[in-house]
Amino acid sequence: MAMTTSNTSFLQRAQVYSSELKEILRDEMMAQRYVRMLDGFPDGNTFNIPSIGQAQVDNYSEDSAVTYRPLDTGNFTFSVDKYLSSATYMTKKAEQDVFYSSELMSRFVPEQERAIMEHFETTTLAAPEAGVAANSEETLNGIKMRVAASGSGELITLKEFAYARFALKKHNVPDSNLVAIVDPSVEYTLNTLSNIVNVSNNPRFEGIVRDGIATGMRFVANVYGFDVYCSNFLADATDSGLEEAFSTSTGDFSSTNGKVNLFFSAAQEVNPFVGAFRQQPNVDYDYNKDFQRHEFVTTARYGVKLYRPENMVRVITKPTVA
């Protein structure tokens, strides 16, 4: 991105009618709090995390040899595969001619860091979909972990919340800190569900009819134990025949992309994601005398991956409102 007199004329004093620069409204970012961030990097860009399975129990008879069984072991691998840069400059002439040049340049680095962290947010929330085949329910121990919403037009219902809790319980995921990250269209659907809004004198739903389910970026009441957050960074899905949780009926997202809403426990011991920064966002500044301009470059390296598939239920919905 370049800031020159040709694209900053609208900021010159003669054409500015406000004393403040208005910032673009942005969605709140939340994904990093659910990532187990690793440090102590080895050489290279790959982490290997050993895992140990459950011990087995055998029947035993007196005065006989016990049965020795090795523990199942595994190796989880992920790489720091994202190398990002965000760069911009302002020419010396633009600095002289633009009334807000100092304010603009003071925003370069925060905006670049924000762009990189938005990339981290999007990548993290899309990690459960990495490598997933079309129409795959990602069945684990006989339980569908990726399903289509069962409401009319592939909209969410309260049944999906109940199913997500069931699926997590079947995998011994703690009931504590249950979180659902949903598209704003899902919030709208929940706000208009008759079996939620048609209540009175019920402390479970107190305040919902007055304020709506969401206040700011967080739901003021949870749904079947899930604290629900809205996000505009959720991944898209294009499945043409993804099964619902309770039947073999399918949802079709091939013409209108679906949104991958995430349900999981944020208990620290079962964080669903693992990640690492090989290089935190780092800023380089230089005045380029050849081109007579101020140059700002922010770079970062990171990797993130779904670590606990048993702690991740995905419900695909259409991002429509009705």
Closest CA to 231 of 252, 257, 207, 260: 260
Closest CA to 226 of 317, 308, 165: 165
* DSSP output for 38-91: --S--SSSEEEEEEE---------TTSPPPP-PPPEEEEEEE--EEEEEEEEEE
Amino acid at residue number 41? F
CA-CA distance, 33 to 315, in Å (whole number)? Answer: 21
pTM over the 0.85 mark:
no
Which two tokens mark 182?
């949903």
Residues of the chain within CATH 3.30.2400.10 domain(s) are: 2-9+28-53+71-127+275-306
pLDDT digits (tens, 9 = 90+) for 128-156: 999 999 999 999 999 999 999 999 999 99
Cβ–Cβ < 8 Å for 277, 301: yes
| CATH architecture of residue range(s) 2-9+28-53+71-127+275-306 | 2-Layer Sandwich (3.30)
CA distances from 261 to 25, 128, 148, 166 (A): 22, 10, 10, 16
Q: Which range has the worst mean pLDDT, 64-68, 182-186, 204-208, 227-231?
A: 204-208
pLDDT digits (tens, 9 = 90+) for 41-82: 777 788 887 776 677 888 888 888 888 887 777 778 889 999
pLDDT of residue 217: 52
Which two tokens mark 263?
């349900």
pLDDT of residue 53: 67
Which two tokens mark 230?
């809205």
pLDDT digits (tens, 9 = 90+) for 14-49: 444 344 445 555 667 888 899 998 887 777 788 887
pLDDT digits (tens, 9 = 90+) for 155-168: 999 999 999 999 99
Q: Which range has the worst mean pLDDT, 13-22, 34-43, 98-107, 202-211?
A: 13-22
pLDDT digits (tens, 9 = 90+) for 232-290: 999 999 999 999 999 999 999 999 999 999 999 999 899 999 999 999 999 999 999 99
